[in-house]
A and B are shown apart, each in its own frame.
Chain A
């Protein structure tokens, strides 16, 4: 089945810094989502982005399906951005999203 990898596994930033999180997938995908799991465990939808680029405030995402990766950009990070960021890919042949292992982000004041 499809493999989904994320990098880096852990990231520590000072408040105000920018960062790029990467998601690689091993097979063609129909769809891709980014989620933020906050320190209270809630999973929050960030982007539904099978291809192209989307922006929402300080966050933006780009998926290049032909090259099998997606990037999540966080600009001017805030302490509330801390948590784990997951990408999830839906393979062309599959029924279900497969989650990556996540990137744990800590933003320090």
Chain B
């Protein structure tokens, strides 16, 4: 049973370019969460999605950031016009949310560097 997959693992973008980060949840999981981790800091929640729905985006910056989880295919976190401050590790987690089970499993992360 494959775990949560993220790609790319490393991404380098110049200021002003777009970054697209992908996350495929574990088999049987229909809930996806994105977190950002700055160097030497903890994980900050960004957005929670279910298939075709954004459930909670309270942690996501209002500008330049967007997320989707289409009916088919991976979840995508998109950052437009990247700036140096966007350099961070972006982690995706997935879970089921039935029968009272909410346990999250994390992917390996995408390390974004903005030059």
- A residues apposed to B, CB below 8 Å: 30-31, 33, 35, 41-43, 45, 48, 86, 88, 90, 95-102
A45 near B103 with CB under 8 A, answer yes
Whether B89 is near chain A, meaning CB under 8 Å from some CB there, is yes
The number of chain B residues touching the other chain, given as a range, is: 20 to 34
Instruction: Name 5 extra pairs, CB < 8 A, besides A33-B103, A41-B108.
Output: A41-B111, A42-B106, A88-B104, A96-B33, A102-B42
Give the top 3 A-B pairs by smallest Cβ distance, nearest first: A43-B106, A48-B103, A99-B43
CA distance A100 to B3 in the complex (A): 24
Once A95-B56, A96-B33, A96-B56 are accepted as A-B contacts, the answer to whether A45 and B105 lie under 8 Å apart by CB is yes
Once A41-B89, A43-B91 are accepted as A-B contacts, the answer to whether A86 and B42 lie under 8 Å apart by CB is yes
Majority secondary structure of chain B interface residues (helix, strand, loop or mixed)? strand
Once A41-B89, A43-B91 are accepted as A-B contacts, the answer to whether A96 and B48 lie under 8 Å apart by CB is yes
CB-CB under 8 A from A86, the residues of chain B are 42-43
Whether B65 is near chain A, meaning CB under 8 Å from some CB there, is no
B89 near A35 with CB under 8 A, answer no
A31 near B102 with CB under 8 A, answer yes
CB-CB under 8 A from B106, the residues of chain A are 35, 42-43, 45
CA distance A88 to B106 in the complex (A): 13
Partner of A33, one of B41, B55, B104, B111: B104
Once A86-B43, A95-B56, A99-B42 are accepted as A-B contacts, the answer to whether A42 and B108 lie under 8 Å apart by CB is yes
Whether B25 is near chain A, meaning CB under 8 Å from some CB there, is no
From residue 27 to 82 of chain B, which have CB atoms closer than 8 A to chain A?
33, 35, 41-45, 48, 55-56, 59
CB-CB under 8 A from B48, the residues of chain A are 95-96
CA distance A106 to B39 in the complex (A): 18
CB-CB under 8 A from A90, the residues of chain B are 102
